[in-house]
Amino acid sequence: MSNKKLAPSILSADLTRLAEEIKKVEEGGADWLHIDVMDGHFAPMITLGPVFVSAIRSITKLPLDVHLMIDNPDGFIEPFSEAGADIMVVSVEVCSHLHYTIQCIKKGGCKAGVCLNPATPLSVLEGIIEDIDMVTLLMVNPGFKGQKFISGLINKVQKLRKMIDERGLQIDIEADGGISQDNIAQVAKAGANVFVTGTAVFSANDYKRAIQDLRGQIKV
Ligand code: DX5
Ligand code: ZN
């Protein structure tokens, strides 16, 4: 069973036909569904909350990878967990009690991830890396779909994979933002194993084909 996962981000889907869009990517072979939650404070956009996640939960079996780009996430861990999140990723830049936050996520039965903005150094992970299931590296600035991939961040993926391997840990590295046919192979080679693919899938005519082509690039 490969550990490489494709996680289409629904922010790039046609939100007027979300149920159909989710069904198409599920049938098209997506591994997870990436749900971008933004509050207009940490991230400059406002997207969706727990009520939407529970609606999505009711129409798909895909693991829900909930990306919390929100201030003070502690107050929303329980609602998102009850809504059906499988993985919850918090933004390290706004977590003043990160160890407590991770404990709360795991206590609720979710896998716990920490997300770093492009300019946030890997050193922030020193005190928490042994406690988490995934690190999400934003390859664009938070807030929007369809942004240009910041190629200079590939070596951040490489350094993170080295940091994880040196500790003998089994932690997913999720590359999030601007992932496409042009860069997914390089990002996989650098050590990422989960790939958020918003525009790369939802802007394609044939989602199944787009997912297959992306998977073909990461040899799984
Ligand atoms: C950006 C989000 C990403 C984004 C991915 O703040 O966290 O998940 O929606 O969309 P694409 O793949 O279009 O960059
Ligand atoms: Zn995201």
CA of 32 to the centre of ligand 2 (A): 12
Instruction: Specify the residue for token string 């080295």.
Output: 162
- Judge if the beta carbon of residue 12 lies within 6 A of ligand 1: yes
Range of the structural domain that residue 112 is part of: 5-218
CA of 136 to the centre of ligand 2 (A): 8
C-beta separation of 133 from 156 below 8 A: no
Q: Which residues of the chain have pLDDT under 50?
A: 1
The pLDDT of residue 138 = 98
The pLDDT of residue 7 = 98
Cα 67 to its chain centre, rounded Å, is: 6
The pLDDT of residue 1 = 47
CATH of the domain at 127: 3.20.20.70
Number of H helices, E strands in the chain: 8, 8
Instruction: Specify the residue for token string 């664009």.
Output: 140
The pLDDT of residue 219 = 79
- Judge if the beta carbon of residue 34 lies within 6 A of ligand 1: yes
Segment 166-211, tens digit of pLDDT: 999 999 999 999 999 999 999 999 999 999 999 999 999 999 999 9
The pLDDT of residue 8 = 98
C-beta separation of 68 from 88 below 8 A: yes
* Pairing mode of beta strands 134-138, 111-116: parallel
- Rounded Cα–Cα distance for residues 195 and 178 (Å): 10
Among protein residues, the one with the nearest Cα to ligand 1's atom 6 is: 142
Please state the domain count of the chain: 1
Instruction: Specify the residue for token string 């997506």.
Output: 30
